[in-house]
Amino acid sequence: MHILDIIQLGFLHKALLAGSCVAVACALLGVFLVLKRMSLIGDGLAHVAFGAVALGLFLNMIPIVVAVPVVVLASLGILLLAEKAVVYGDAAIGMVSAVGIAIGVVLASSAGGFNADLFGLLFGNILAISTVEAWEAVILSGLVIIMILLFYHDLFMVSFDEQYGRVAGINTTAINRVLAMLTAFTVVLGIRVVGTMLVSALMIFPAVTALQLGRSFRRTLVLAALIAVLSVLGGIALSFAGNYPTGATIVLVNAAFLVFAFFLRKYARSE
């Protein structure tokens, strides 16, 4: 197939649009989560989403409809556990994550094993994304960008020094909840891009890569979004050309960007 014929494929347009939008949302949120040392919340919520998807399939319901409220409640539950000092944040993430994946495995086993729908949502199938899902990704990325612009200074303060932000009069509890809920929505929609098992990579890799290179916080946010989009576009192109799994290829491209950033930073310091 000629390259021009490939570019004109309708499903590829939807994959590129949805992938880019979800990548931007994941990367922007990822910067705040990494700075708050809560980056693994994406991984934990992805496991919860797996359990919620399995529940939806078990009940013969639309998986995403079940996953959204369940994952939002799980994200708020993680914050509640951490805020009440019952457990530390990473322990709360681990506990909720383990319960989510256990429920998913039990339900999948009760239903007779992992069917094609569950497998697809586990590992992602962006090339089969629907028009509705593509528009959902556009709306999601727009919502994340708007919320970050509205609460930029509060998010900035909470990410770097939450205690100082609380003293300065910022409602840190509300800001943390907004961040957690945005993360939950992004994780659920990110399932269609790289799957529940890999979605956290889109939150962690671009953010960590940008933090190696960015010289200001605003530039770091922009750079993280750019790296995430390039990773998705490059991953889709490579997977389409070599017939590789799309989600895994996107993650490997992200990892390559991170390695390049490490070497670039090391070279800049040696100058």
pLDDT in tens, 227-254: 999 998 898 888 878 888 887 888 899 9
pLDDT of 229 reads 93
* Residues spanned by the domain of 244: 3-270
pTM for the predicted model, two decimal places:
0.84
Q: Which residue has the higher pLDDT, 5 or 214?
A: 214
CATH (domain of 19): 1.10.3470.10
Q: Read off the pLDDT of residues 38-84 as tens digits, 9 standing for 90 and up.
A: 777 877 888 888 788 778 777 877 777 788 888 888 888 887 776 66
**Residues 6 or more apart whose Cβ sits within 8 Å of residue 85:** none
- Number of domains comprising the chain: 1
Picking from 31-40, 55-64, 154-163, which range would have the lowest pLDDT averaged per residue?
Answer: 55-64
